[in-house]
A and B are shown apart, each in its own frame.
Chain A
Amino acid sequence: MQKRLLDVQSITMQFGGLKAVDSLSFFVNEGELNGLIGPNGAGKTTVFNMITGVYTPTSGQVIFDGQTSSGLKPYQISKMGMTRTFQNIRLFRDLSVLENVMIAGSKDITYSAVAPLLQTKEFLGQETQLRKRSMDLLAIFGLEKKANEQSTSLPYGEQRKLEIVRALATSPKLICLDEPAAGMNHNETHQLMETIAQIRKDFKLSVLLIEHDMKLVMGICERIFVLDHGTKIEEGAPSVIQNSKKVIEAYLGPEGIH
């Protein structure tokens, strides 16, 4: 049996009188690539915020890698091996492309606070190591030539890629991508699809993906969860989702089936 990496157990998020997510359960197996879809406002990003620790679920719990992760701070969850990208790109704007990635790689740094003051060998060695590793990661997306440019000077599509590189730099087990293809054209989306599949293989990652581009989702996801009004209405392989009445209703309304 496959190991469950992420196990979400009936989590609910209540904002005042609004139930954004209502007792949602799903799981991600180790090495799986899963999709989370749903119409606008279905609560997809809220789910991401809950599992990555930005919000604490009102009720229910999240088990990640055998440990309860709900209630922990985002940085703790990140250190456990779950990381994410953001729907509305959140790069460190004034910093260089390379610095963006190096910040995320801080987990590997073990030198003390005094080491940089004395410029010890340990400090210089680890910095060189981190720089090299960051450059290697940038090279996956062909961003290594732009390493010293300011991150916001990159075109939109490359900023999205940089977010993925930055997430990879935290050496995650599970990476949550929030609409990685938003604003990309057909070709770019296709390329991205291949890269995601590739890094998943190379880094032995599990991926959880929010995406509106159905071609992308249906093309690479193994299982898909469909969310509407904060509840899960369907779950299964792409072929199941494509033929589900409930899903078509949620997207197109009840008349859509006629």
Chain B
Amino acid sequence: MKKPLLILIGLIGLGVFLDFATDAFIQLTLIYVLINMILAMSLNLVNGFTGQFSLGHAGFMAVGAYTSAYLSTLIPVWTGPAQVLYFAILATAGGLMSAFAGFLVGLPSLRLRGDYLAIVTLGFGEIIRVILLNTPAVGGARGMYGIQGPTDWEAGPLYVSKFFWGYTHAIFWVVVCFLVIWRTIRSNQGRAFLSVREDEIAAEAMGINTTQTKVRAFVLSSFFAGIAGAIFAHYSNYLNPASFAFTRSVDCVIMVVLGGMGSLSGSLMAATIITILPELLRPLQETTGVDLRMVIYSLSLILLMILRPQGLMGSRELKVSRLFTFFSRGRNAKTTP
């Protein structure tokens, strides 16, 4: 239990540095990177590890986002360091709501396979969006304004920006999400997930309840999607049903496929690339005057899929030790010829 805690503390420490060294735009992008990491990892659990094709991740994200945002209108926000706890509690509520939605959708639909499941989950995502669009209590089509977000905090000489609190909240969930999925995969439950992906009939014959296994994967995945939604709601202070359209679900699938089905480190990498790439291409648009961003973005995706159809990492995980051997091998190759 020590190692993950140290990593978390280290990453929060990094937040202090980022707070000083970067501007608001980079900070916002960074938060989006973290949100997308959670989305990609959680979807990978269903699409990559359990081998089911879900296309409704935005729907679960919306459930979590709106639940958490609505609750924040009922419960006054806490200030200071306690606000991280406040947002974490709201996010947990959002995640649980989303997990419940995942259970309701998963139970009947996970008997379906492949394309059929994709269509059902796609339909679910749209239903959620349309319901939100027609619910005046959460703003309907106008969206939900002025959602409580992290606030700056001053205590004597100490000044902590709202970014730091938002970052701490987000990075906490990234670490939790990674840890939960990573360790679950390496347990009895995780092996059941994998066996369902590999061969359902054989899995059943070996005593695995495949329907239950799929529902569990789906529930856990939607829980974290809801968490991601809650972080999104409170950091952007504004929610609109249009943010949870079909395209966001597709973005999630792209991240999973790009990073590698069944690779958490791949998901982390892909989430970073997918979020940053369009932003990096922005200056290009300013100099040329033509918006080529989406063209380049899509072309690079097509190229990557041609060159590496299994995704960046395949189903492997990035290991620091392997990275060292990779580089040292490269160095040896240069010196020996």
Would you give the shortest CB distance from A70 to chain B, in whole angstroms? Answer: 15
Assess whether B203 is interfacial by the CB under 8 Å rule: yes
Docked pose: A73 CA to B212 CA in angstroms: 12
Docked pose: A24 CA to B183 CA in angstroms: 47
Docked pose: A195 CA to B51 CA in angstroms: 35
For A83, A117, A118, the residue with the greatest tally of chain B CB atoms inside 10 Å of its CB is: A117
Q: Which of the four size classes fits the interface of chain A?
A: 35 or more
Residues of A within 8 A of B202 (CB): 86, 90-92
* B188 adjacent to A109 (CB under 8 Å): yes
Contact with A along B1-12 (1 / 0, CB 8 A): 100000000000
Docked pose: A119 CA to B187 CA in angstroms: 10
Assess whether B334 is interfacial by the CB under 8 Å rule: no
* B205 adjacent to A83 (CB under 8 Å): yes
Contact with A along B190-203 (1 / 0, CB 8 A): 11101101110111
Q: Which residue of A lies closest to B206 (CB)?
A: A104
The one of B190, B191, B206, B209 in contact with A73, judged by C-beta atoms closer than 8 angstroms, is B209
Residues of B within 8 A of A107 (CB): 207
Question: Given A83-B205, A106-B207, A170-B206, do A116 and B198 touch, yes or no (CB 8 Å)?
Answer: no
* A93 adjacent to B203 (CB under 8 Å): no
Assess whether B331 is interfacial by the CB under 8 Å rule: no
Question: Given A90-B201, A90-B202, do A75 and B189 touch, yes or no (CB 8 Å)?
Answer: no
Residues of B within 8 A of A91 (CB): 198-199, 202
Question: Given A99-B191, A106-B192, do A74 and B183 touch, yes or no (CB 8 Å)?
Answer: no
Assess whether A78 is interfacial by the CB under 8 Å rule: yes
Docked pose: A109 CA to B201 CA in angstroms: 21
Interface residues of A in 62-116 (CB under 8 A from B): 73-75, 78-79, 83-84, 86, 90-95, 99, 102-104, 106-107, 109, 111, 113, 115-116
Q: Which residue of A lies closest to B184 (CB)?
A: A116
Assess whether B302 is interfacial by the CB under 8 Å rule: no
Would you give the shortest CB distance from A125 to chain B, in whole angstroms? Answer: 13
Interface residues of B in 153-208 (CB under 8 A from A): 179-180, 183-184, 186-192, 194-195, 197-199, 201-208
Q: Is the interface of B mostly helix, strand, loop or mixed?
A: helix
Assess whether B315 is interfacial by the CB under 8 Å rule: yes
For A103, A109, A119, A169, the residue with the greatest tally of chain B CB atoms inside 10 Å of its CB is: A103
Contact with B along A168-203 (1 / 0, CB 8 A): 011000000000000000000000000000000000
* A117 adjacent to B184 (CB under 8 Å): yes
* A116 adjacent to B187 (CB under 8 Å): yes
Docked pose: A86 CA to B203 CA in angstroms: 12
Q: Which residue of A lies closest to B213 (CB)?
A: A75
Would you give the shortest CB distance from B40 to chain A, in whole angstroms? Answer: 20
Residues of A within 8 A of B186 (CB): 116
Docked pose: A51 CA to B30 CA in angstroms: 56
Contact with B along A203-237 (1 / 0, CB 8 A): 00000000000000000000000000000000000
* A103 adjacent to B195 (CB under 8 Å): yes
Assess whether B210 is interfacial by the CB under 8 Å rule: yes
* B204 adjacent to A103 (CB under 8 Å): no
* B191 adjacent to A78 (CB under 8 Å): no
Assess whether A166 is interfacial by the CB under 8 Å rule: yes
Question: Given A91-B202, A93-B198, do A106 and B183 touch, yes or no (CB 8 Å)?
Answer: no
* A94 adjacent to B198 (CB under 8 Å): yes
Residues of A within 8 A of B209 (CB): 73, 75
Residues of B within 8 A of A250 (CB): none
* A95 adjacent to B180 (CB under 8 Å): no
The one of B191, B205, B210 in contact with A106, judged by C-beta atoms closer than 8 angstroms, is B191
A-B contact pairs, 13 of them (CB 8 A): A75-B203, A75-B204, A78-B207, A83-B205, A83-B206, A86-B201, A92-B195, A92-B198, A103-B192, A106-B188, A106-B206, A115-B187, A117-B183
Task: State the 10 A-B residue pairs at the shortest beta-carbon distance, nearest first.
Answer: A116-B187, A92-B198, A74-B204, A78-B207, A90-B202, A104-B206, A109-B188, A103-B195, A103-B191, A116-B183
Query: 15 more A-B contacts (CB under 8 A) besides A83-B207, A90-B205?
Result: A74-B201, A78-B207, A84-B205, A92-B203, A94-B198, A95-B195, A99-B194, A102-B191, A103-B194, A104-B206, A104-B207, A113-B184, A116-B184, A119-B183, A167-B205
